[in-house]
Amino acid sequence: MAALLCALCLVLATSLVPCRAGHSARALQEGMLYPRESPSRELKELSGIWSFRADWSQQRDAGFAEQWYKQPLRQSGPVMDMPVPASFNEITQDPRLRGYVGWVWYEKEVLPPGRWLRKEDGTRVVLRMGSVHYYAIVWVNGVQVTEHEGGHLPFEAEISRLLQDAPGKPCRITIVVNNTLSPHTLPPGTIQYMDDDSMYPKGYFVQNTRFDFFNYAGIHRPVLLYTTPPAYIDDITVTTGVDGNVGLIRYLVSIRGSAHYSLNLTLHDADGVTVATGDGPDGQLKVPNPILWWPYLMHERPGYLYSLKVTLSATVDGRVSEDSYTQPVGIRTIRVVDTQFLINGKPFYFHGVNKHEDSDIRGKGLDWPLVLKDFNLLRWLGANSFRTSHYPYAEEIMELCDAYGIVVIDECPAVGMKDSKNFGNKSLQHHLVVMEELIRRDKNRPSVVMWSVANEPASDLRPAGYYCRTVIGHTKSVDPTRPVTYVSNANYARDQGAPYVDVICVNSYFSWYHDPGHLEVIRLQLSTRLDNWYDTHRKPIIQSEYGADTIAGFHADPPLMFSEEYQSALLKEYHAVLDQKRKKYVIGELIWNFADFMTEQGTTRVLGNKKGIFTRQRQPKASAFVLKERYWKLANESSCLTPAKYDDVCLP
């Protein structure tokens, strides 16, 4: 019924926006542990080739009207092969599919192991989607099991009974995806119909957005099946602290499937040695002389992780049910004090990058070679941090940040909020759910040191004050252990949300979007702007974006816009000011951008945004060497570590 209602939304509304049936809100009542194998849990990866079909009907509703999910997708009409994970926009040579807006259908048949299907064992089988952009409805063997609004975050559904009712038969998984954006989605957008029959075909429309990256769509992250026993560990929440020479790990464990159980917890160090034990669902472990989780370049053992093994023994229908799950734990503290950002009581200066999950073939699909290449480039640069601009990145990336000691500002997909319609109650309620989903996913990650609730919202609009205060307040109530920010490009005196953040993040593009070509004005303009922000709000500041578009291989002397020389010169002008202000109230600088990335086509974009210090193929521009020299100098000043110290050290 929910699927039909969403299809009716497409038929009756004036846009192609999917409706929301409330599954996201209900999902928050349950945990969302990252799938890990254990003696009681198995995983089956479903990445690979899926059947795919776009709905080309005028209202994009043929799939619902004809109920494509009730039979194998290939029986509904022509299908093509589509890799998962990947963005469907980049895979074919069809220009219509690259810019397609509406519903697309995916399907895969998989044969679960027979041992999963024995009813007497009570094994739970869960279907998990890492990220589907933007709106998804999921069927198993023609039965709807879940739906989800919003890309970038995981969702799942238990499908045990459906599989057990058809033993020995393939499990047919159907996922329909809609990439339409409305004024109330995150990110927002609008559908514009072109009614001039002399210029456009009948029914012609375009998707308008106000964010500067391509609206890639599809199944972007792994889809998998995993199992748990009938009584299982549903969620684990870990917070850490330090009292003198003792590390404190506070834990809260949620159990489902039985009210009669016992819990044992064992904390191991990186060598597997037991350092603390506990029992019960709520408690605290004490670790004498702990090895703290330090950011990369601040300690000889960055990214140090303990392993918290939680073991459950429960009774279900007179039978014993056992489960175990291992949660990585990094012991560290975070505080914002006056004009300092403290990690483990030591001032931390963010010198890093903004990134995009953007590859030239897979779009935003998880790509392991690209991921590892990027982490090695971060190490080469001497970067200690990045912001997940402008949406949550894959859990696999976050796992590496924990292990490598890369500090993360974790940002939700609230980008392009430029209209008063984006600050209404409908948008607000969805925004609160998204922040809950993000915190549920990343709450235990030591690498995540701050939440960012938006990027460049129109925070000078009147409704923005209440909206920002509510989102920030809700985020703090869900996770009181981390500071909260959002990234602003508004006027310092008119920004309605700045009073509520812990850290001011400011974007500026002097001598690019303002006074283009005039490098000589940067120092005065940047210094004045930073001083105005600080004098008004008296909070630490991060220069969260700055940069210039640069075409690799284009040279000009004297420096001209779009040349490698101009980008390098602009960075140096910014750095001169930041060196003055970081002695006072500036606590970080994040270049825009780590690498070139794809955008919508436009007269100001030549095959995408070219502000990267690396090309989209990850080759360095001249600015990368400027930044490398600076970042290693900053690291040396704060930590007495040099590039040579790490030359022969592989990442953990």
Strand partners, 562: 550
| Stated length of the chain | 652
Which of 274-312 are b and which e, b meaning 16 or more Cβ less than 10 Å from the residue's Cβ?
Answer: ebbebeebeeebebeebbbbbbbbbbeebbbbbebbbbb
Torsion of CA 543, 546, 552, 557, to 10 degrees: -110
The span from the CA of 627 to the CA of 64, in Å, is 52
CA torsion sign for 93, 176, 143, 433 is positive
Q: Are 223 and 129 in contact (CB under 8 A)?
A: yes
Q: Which of 42, 90, 147, 456 is an active site residue?
A: 456
Which of 402-428 are b and which e, b meaning 16 or more Cβ less than 10 Å from the residue's Cβ?
Answer: bbbbbbbbbbbbbbbbeeeebbeeebb
The identity of residue 261, as a single letter, is Y
Which of 338-363 are b and which e, b meaning 16 or more Cβ less than 10 Å from the residue's Cβ?
Answer: ebebebbebebbbbbbbbbbbbbebb
The span from the CA of 91 to the CA of 49, in Å, is 12
Residue 236 dihedral angles phi and psi, to the nearest 5° = -135, 130
The identity of residue 88, as a single letter, is F
Q: Are 147 and 2 in contact (CB under 8 A)?
A: yes
Residue 308 is classified by DSSP as: E
Work out the burial of residue 158: count CB atoms within 10 Å of its CB; fewer than 13 is exposed, 13-18 middle, 19 or more buried.
middle
The identity of residue 23, as a single letter, is H
Helical spans, DSSP H, in 53-209: 62-65, 95-98, 160-164
Residue 574 dihedral angles phi and psi, to the nearest 5° = -60, -45
Task: Report helix angle 622-639 to 564-581, nearest 10.
Answer: 20
Q: Are 358 and 213 in contact (CB under 8 A)?
A: yes
CA torsion sign for 608, 613, 618, 622 is positive
Q: What is the DSSP string of 402-453?
A: HHHT-EEEEE-S-B---SGGGGSHHHHHHHHHHHHHHHHHHTT-TTEEEEEE
The span from the CA of 288 to the CA of 106, in Å, is 52
Whether residue 456 lies in the annotated active site: yes
Residue 509 token pair: 């593009």
Cis bond before residue 188 (omega within 30° of 0): no
Helix (H, G, I), strand (E, B) or coil at 182: coil
The span from the CA of 346 to the CA of 334, in Å, is 9
Task: Report helix angle 395-404 to 368-381, nearest 10.
Answer: 30
DSSP collapsed to 3 states, 134-159:
CEEEEEECCEEEEEEECCCCCEEEEC
Residue 5 is classified by DSSP as: H
Q: Are 367 and 359 in contact (CB under 8 A)?
A: yes
Q: Which residues are catalytic?
A: 456
